[in-house]
Structures are given as structure tokens and as C-alpha cells.
Amino acid sequence: MRVFIIRAVQEKYRQSADVFGQGEQYAKGVTTVTNLDGPMTDLLLPLPGPTRSCSFVVSRVAGLEKEIADLKVLADSLGKSGGDTEAILLALKEQSAAMTAEANQKEAQANDLRTQAAAKTVEADAKQTQIDKNKSDYPACFGYYYYEGAYCPDPDIAIATAKLEAEVSELRSQAASMRADATRLDAEAAEIRKELVPLDKTIAELEGLIYDVGGTVDLGKIVRDLRKQAEDKQKEIDQYKRDYPKCF
């Protein structure tokens, strides 16, 4: 989905930005900027004197009104797109945080299982040591000698040793199962972190669409600047109408 999200947002920005520049992309040091609106676009330039004809004034005002309409369309479009993008960005960040927490939890569970498995192995080794000692100290109580009727000073030692052997087998089986579960959890955590790579890349790309390199200027400022330009052009129109009331 990240590809579709990125492309949809970028296309919206492109469509909005194409209102200006005749659809061409600006390249620093290459693009030649041409004022297609005549010498009166900028408010810093003087307004026409009282000798201007009504046809010129009316045409100029119409051009300014068209520019205002385009600026408002662009500002509204970017404002809506920016809001949508921020909502998507927030949702993706929440998803990323949840996935990271899940991966961390699985890794913690895996480590805990390995610790438990190590403890059971230590316990099993201790019991095995006792088994080996019993068989070494009382060989007549085990195996061939026992069944031949050799003297066994403690007949219960064979029963106790058999019980220890069963416990050792169970402890080693539990430890092996825990290690297998730990390996599975690690694999699941690794898969989640693998999925996080494209997700975090999408988040970074969306942040790039909203914020500048320093992360201080957001899309809202661009929208406000566009609306300020529209207000300035409206002031210029109002000035024309005050200076040339008979033309309107």
C-alpha cells in the first residue's frame, strides 16, 4: 500500500503545483523565469496612473482575479492534501510503534525462554551427576550385577536413580522445547522488523512531503503564504477600483 499512498499524495501535489509554471518543473540555475502577467503583477511596482484606459484596468483586474482563484485552489488543495497526509502519517507511525513493541516483546520472551532452558539444563546436569555417582558407588545395584543377585547394599538406590533419570529426561525435553520456542519467537520478531523497513521508509517519505530539511517549515506555512499572496492581489484589485471607479 505504501507505493499507492506515496504516488497518490505526490500526484495531488503535482496537480496543484501545475497551476503555476505552465506545468514545468523549476530547476535552479537553469529555468528562465518569465512574467506572463505584465509589469503590474508585483505590488512593489507602482499602480497605473490616472491616464490608464479602462480596457487596461479591467483586463488587469480580470488577470488578478484569475490569479487569486488559482492561488485559492492551490492553497485549498494543499491544505486538504496536507491534512490527509498528516493523518496517514500519524496512522503509519502508530502502526510502526505497535510493530516495534511487538518485536521487542517477542525478543524479550525468547531471551526469557533461553534463560529458563539454561536453568533446566543446569538442573538436569546436576541430577545426571548424581546418577553417575550412584552407579559408580553401587555398581551391584544396577544392570547385570543386580540381576545376577550380586550384593546391593541399598536396593532403593536403583529406584531413586531411575526416578532421577526420568526427571533428567523431562528437564532436557523442556529445555529443548523452550529453545525451539525461543528460536521461533526470534524468527517472528525478525519478520516484523523486516516489515518495518518499508514502513519506516514510507513514514520518512511522507515526512519529506510535509516538512522541509530542517523540519521547521510545514505545509501549513506554504498554504498560509499562498493565501497571503491572494490577499495582496485582492488589495491591488481594491486599489484599482478606488482609483478607477468609473471603469467598474
**Distance between CA atoms of 228 and 224, rounded to whole angstroms?**
6
The vertex-214 CA angle with 193 and 76, nearest 5°, equals: 95
Instruction: State which amino acid sits at residue 11.
Output: E
And the C-alpha cell for 4?
A: 499507492
| pLDDT score of 78 | 64
- List the pLDDT tens digit at each of the 248 positions of the chain: 666 666 666 676 666 666 555 555 555 555 555 554 444 444 434 444 555 688 888 888 988 888 888 778 767 766 666 666 677 778 888 999 999 999 999 999 999 999 999 999 999 999 999 999 998 888 888 865 545 556 778 878 988 999 999 999 999 999 999 999 999 999 999 999 999 998 888 888 777 766 654 444 456 667 777 788 889 989 999 998 888 888 88
What is the pLDDT, as a whole number, of residue 151?
73
Using an 8 Å Cβ cutoff, are 90 and 208 in contact? Answer: no
**DSSP code per residue over 6-30:** HHHHHHHHHHHHTTSGGGPPP-TTT
Grid coordinates in use for 207?
A: 515526512
Confidence (pLDDT) at 117: 97
**Longest alpha-carbon distance in the chain:** 136
Cα(170)–Cα(176) distance, integer angstroms: 10
Q: What is the pLDDT of residue 27?
A: 55
pLDDT of residue 22: 52
Tell the burial category of 106 from Cβ atoms under 10 Å away from its Cβ (0-12, 13-18, 19+). Answer: buried
SS3 of 48, please? Answer: coil
C-alpha cell at 6: 506515496
pLDDT of residue 214: 44
